[in-house]
Amino acid sequence: MTTLQTMARNRTFLSRGSVFTVNTPSIASIPLWIGVLLACLPLLVWAHGVDDATRSFISSNQGVAIVPYLYIGAKHMVTGYDHLLFLVGVLFFLYRKREVLLYVSLFTLGHSTTLILGVWQDIQVNAHLIDGIIGISILYKGFDNLGGFKRIYGFEPNTKAAVAIFGLFHGFGLATKLQEFQLHQAEGLVQNLIAFNVGVELGQFFALVYVMILLSFWRKHESYMRFSTVTNTILMSCGLMLTLYQFTGYFITAPV
């Protein structure tokens, strides 16, 4: 095992700052970070979006439609950049297959629970608030990967609990999009909801396979560790932009 692989496998060692340090950006770097934030803007528009064709189908559909809902669920996850950004952050320093399976299972359990219960029981939660918290989850994971909690506060949160809890909010994010169509009153709700959730998991599986292939290839090069700080800072920037965007939307649309 190379020195690079040994350092990368030991997440605690990384978090203590022995490998890299979080430097305060200089004035010269401000244009770079402005560019990073602007690059994140499209994610704000695309995250959790429901395209016109899907909206038209769900609005007009009556009865059980297993295959279409499988496709809609998979499509929503694959194009759900907020979910994928969070998962990239979770997987960034995970090398063992057992750890990957554990964290993904915790996230899956969390979002499946609130997705199904949220739509089935029609639990109404403001979509802007939920998506803002999803933005916080991305911001948290980038900050955690940089060892920010250990460096600034002297402790590290329980990452397993954090992934499971944020998974609950990601599930509510999915539920709020389906609740727009009043599906809790529709015929075939249970079958369609299960099909949608299975589709979400299939989409997540294929997205994770793609992400893990890319990460595995990148990890063979020294640039992986060299640019880990930049990568997770970009992750934090996207999370911050999503959070501010959604919370602004909440305060603008909230009833007086």
pLDDT above 90 covers what percent of the chain?
46
Residue 172 has pLDDT above 90, yes or no: yes
Yes or no: say if 67 and 78 are a contact pair by the CB < 8 Å rule.
no
CB atoms within 10 A of CB 169: 21
pLDDT above 70 covers what percent of the chain?
77
pLDDT grade, residue 156 (50/70/90)? confident
Side-chain half-sphere exposure of 242, counting CA atoms within 13 A: 33
The DSSP-derived string for 224-248 is HHHTHHHHHHHHHHHHHHHHHHHHH
In tens, the pLDDT along 22-52 reads 444 444 444 555 555 555 555 555 455 667 7
What is the arithmetic mean of pLDDT over 252-256? Answer: 73
Tokens found for residue 58: 């769900």
What is the arithmetic mean of pLDDT over 123-150? Answer: 93
How far apart CA 1 and CA 195 sit, in angstroms, is: 43
How far apart CA 235 and CA 238 sit, in angstroms, is: 5
Yes or no: say if 203 and 149 are a contact pair by the CB < 8 Å rule.
no
